[in-house]
Amino acid sequence: MSKVPEHLGSLTLGRQVGVGRHCQVWEAVDTASGQRVAVKAVVPEMARDTGQRRLLKHELDVARHLDHPAIIRIDRFSTAGGLPHLVMELYPHANLKKQITAGVDEIAPRLHRIVTQVAWALDHMHGRGWVHRDVKPDNVLASVDGEVKLIDLAIAARKPGMIRRLLGVKAPAQGSPSYIAPEQIRGLPVDPRSDIYSLGCTLFELLTGMPPFTASTTEDLYQKHLAATPPAVEAFNRNATVSVSKLIRQMLAKKPADRPPSMKAVVQQIGAIKFLSRVGG
């Protein structure tokens, strides 16, 4: 994968902070304004790919419908040097996936605050008519104080209307295999309860260091999401409370109707329980 050029118009790129299959994310300085920003740029090999350009423009469109302190702000879409890119708010903290590799005990003192903030951010998205569809530790940046930014709105989708819900119109499965809800695998219409499932997978990983289901192939992983009983979180973390184990099981219900009815309901449950019997010590 080729490196994005050091200069994109008025942007001078510095440290690389993220990388995906088709995009790189960099810290940068906008010399026109003097501001430090983040830049999400399509890699040179994909510069002419209209699909990647469309995803970036879609991400900007979604962001313009949102206004929440725990959701990354995206300022503009631009093209320079032939490379489409987004210019967005810089939040210079590692994502939760990277932080998990240092051990879940390091996250434990902030865990309740982190999950609460992510849930409120998703509730805001749902209230504005959007489903994120890719909730996972990689897509949450978190500070040492537990402040978060939900990122990567590229595959966010409008909540389905009544006709699509009634018809059950199918669509290609989209989402990350370790965190994807059963209805997303089946290509069925998604709603906020799909994000609840993915947040349940994320919470499981924040407590145990691994997602609830693992497999050697994507197909086997999908089958586990569709049919396997999630393991008990306390089997991997004896410090996890009975209350959080019960909440995770409910969030990971195979049928959306068996999950909490809304992200607001999840927030209420989170506020009423402890995740860990003890923190520190």
Residue numbers annotated as active site: 134
Amino acid (1-letter code) at residue 128: R
| Chain CA centroid to CA 70, Å | 12
Give the integer Cα–Cα distance in Å for 62 and 184. Answer: 20
Amino acid (1-letter code) at residue 72: I
First to last CA, the chain: 45
Other CB atoms within 10 A of residue 202 CB: 27
Dihedral sign from CA coordinates of 248, 251, 255, 260: positive
At 92, list the tokens: 């210079």
Give the integer Cα–Cα distance in Å for 278 and 134. Answer: 31
What single DSSP character describes residue 277? S
Q: What is the β-pairing status of strands 148-150 and 130-131?
A: unpaired
